[in-house]
Amino acid sequence: MEVLSRILKKIEDCVLLRGCHVGPSNSIGVRISYLLFADDTILFCDASREQLLSIRLALTCFQAFTGLKVNVGKSEIVPVGEVGNLDALATILCCRVGSLPMKYLGMPLGTPYKTTSMWNPILERMEKKLSGWKRIYLLKGGRLTLVKSTLSCLPTFYLSLFFIPVAVADRLEWIQRNFLWGTSEECFKYSLVAWEKVCFPIETGGLGIRKLVHFNKALLGKWLWRFGQEETCLWRRVIAYKYGEGQGGWTTKLCRRAHGRGLWRGIHDGWESFSKHMALVVGNGTCILFWHDKWVGDNSLKGFILSCMDFHERELEDAYSFLECIQPQIPRGGGSDTSHWCLKRNGKFDTRSYYNTIRGAAVSIFPWKGVWKAKITKRVAFFMWTAVHRQIPTLDNFILRGRILVNWCCLCHRNEEIVDHLLLHCPIAHSLWVYMFQIFGTQWVMPSSVESLVYCWSFWLGKLNSNIWNMVPGCLMWIVWTKRNWRSIEDTEKSLV
């Protein structure tokens, strides 16, 4: 590709290839004639016979120099706007005639990206994946693995560049939710735990599935960060000439257009929330606004100084503190100004920290280690996670969903069937817990809830806190649940042992 690049650069210097101009008509701007990839090339030119002949000559020279032949069978000439003599121009290069919109290297070109139809390929790929998975029997643990490793990753390529409409995000999450809980066209199953809670981190009671709207915003934040870092990169210069640079060059000016919603505008709309987590480090001071930019710690000088205005003698200490704060920031004339990401100790942007901030911190305490760190199968761990949330399909939960049922425990025939009673306090389940405590040589008063039991289980036995001990809650609750299903669904009596 280096040889082809030099040939194209030569004919561009000889004004035999004009390319496209980005920027105001009265400015130098940026002129782009070609973009080279690993084994693909995009050429930009006017709809003129002379320029296409120059391109053909360049490709012929490339073939002669390298012995590599251009695959005209896969090449296309694509018009932008109205082109009258398109067929004649295509004959010069012996290639096909294409049209916009189209897909190139997996990305849509010429598509109004604010429309939901642009995301149809992602939806189709999800449906194709699901059609294959529906033919096999998958347990909840396997479904969770496929959702996190495949379904939630399919739209990442698009999410890293395009602003996702809320309707599309809802549709994609609806597909993931239905697959996780086993709902299909032939069979309906309840979503036992709310999707918002499912998308929490594992440490706070969720399953760690990403919320697409928040993940999209975090991925687009990467471009906002790179704009302030990659001053000489071609993409950055194109955006800067098209929209104009803001003060200091950390971002562009406001993207105000009479119609439409450009690609960069969708990214730039997140600047206000993004900039709250970015501070500036003073070098020579040329790219920092003294009054408005955040260079005094995590605040602007304007915000910092308001509390020190009109101070009295008793407030001199605050004034001295202010002077001590800005003293280290005074420009020394060395180096350039840089940006600092406040959410990471090393000051470098990463998507994870921004996503966690956008999502917000969950305040709930969840015994996640007792659920997911125990040496039990993922099927049992998923059941245990659902039980801690008190959302396994017991009779009381069916009644809450509008089902008319007689609520009684099919094991003891004495109490209502609720999660904590069934798994802990039912006489039959309780006898199993007592038997297990006897094996380990300990006594314990059962907590009131499954969540409390799992939370304090690993802290109880000291030296006996082993892998086997940590497996006990999940295994016992799964045995009780299996026996309950034998009795209530199959009407079969089986021993717990």
CA 54 to each of CA 16, 18, 65, 86: distance values in angstroms, whole numbers, following the listed order: 6, 11, 16, 17
pLDDT, residue 184, reads 84
Residue 399, both tokens: 């009644």
Where does the pLDDT of residue 262 fall: very low under 50, low under 70, confident under 90, or very high at 90 and above?
A: confident
Cα separation, 223 vs 15, whole angstroms:
33
Residues 6+ apart with CB under 8 A from 89: 47, 49, 52, 77, 83
pLDDT, residue 308, reads 54
Where does the pLDDT of residue 85 fall: very low under 50, low under 70, confident under 90, or very high at 90 and above?
A: confident
Task: Render pLDDT for 265-290 as a digit per residue (tens, 0 to 9).
Answer: 889 999 989 988 888 776 666 666 65
Residue 176, classified by CB atoms within 10 Å of its CB into exposed (0-12), middle (13-18) or buried (19+), is buried
Mean pLDDT within 357-386? 90
Alpha helices in 94-185 (DSSP H): 120-133, 140-149, 156-159, 166-181
Task: Render pLDDT for 13-28 as a digit per residue (tens, 0 to 9).
Answer: 888 888 888 887 777 8
> 427 versus 250: which is more confidently predicted?
427
DSSP string across 320-368:
HHHHHHHGGGS--S-S--EEEETTSTT----HHHHHHHHH--------H
pTM for this structure?
A: 0.85
Cα separation, 386 vs 478, whole angstroms:
12
Residue type at position 306: L
pLDDT, residue 463, reads 47
Residues 6+ apart with CB under 8 A from 336: 283, 284, 286, 287
* pLDDT cut 90: percent of the chain above it: 44
Residue 389, both tokens: 């949330």
DSSP string across 420-488:
HIIIIISHHHHHHHHHHHHHHT---PPPSSHHHHHHHHTTTSGGG-SHHHHHHHHHHHHHHHHHHHHHH
Where does the pLDDT of residue 245 fall: very low under 50, low under 70, confident under 90, or very high at 90 and above?
A: confident
> 412 versus 463: which is more confidently predicted?
412
Lowest-confidence region among 63-77, 265-279, 299-313, 433-447? 299-313
Cα separation, 474 vs 373, whole angstroms:
11
The closest alpha carbon to 144, from 192, 207, 213, belongs to: 207
Q: What is the mean pLDDT of the chain?
A: 85
Task: Render pLDDT for 290-347 as a digit per residue (tens, 0 to 9).
Answer: 555 665 556 665 666 665 555 555 655 665 566 566 555 555 556 677 788 989 989 8
pLDDT, residue 306, reads 60
Sign of CA dihedral 384, 388, 389, 390: positive
Alpha helices in 182-280 (DSSP H): 195-198, 212-229, 234-243, 263-268, 271-275
Mean pLDDT within 209-214? 95
Strands 76-77 and 96-97: parallel
Question: Does residue 86 register a pLDDT over 50?
Answer: yes
Q: Tell me the β-bridge partners of 339.
A: 280
Cα 282 to the center of its chain, rounded Å? 32
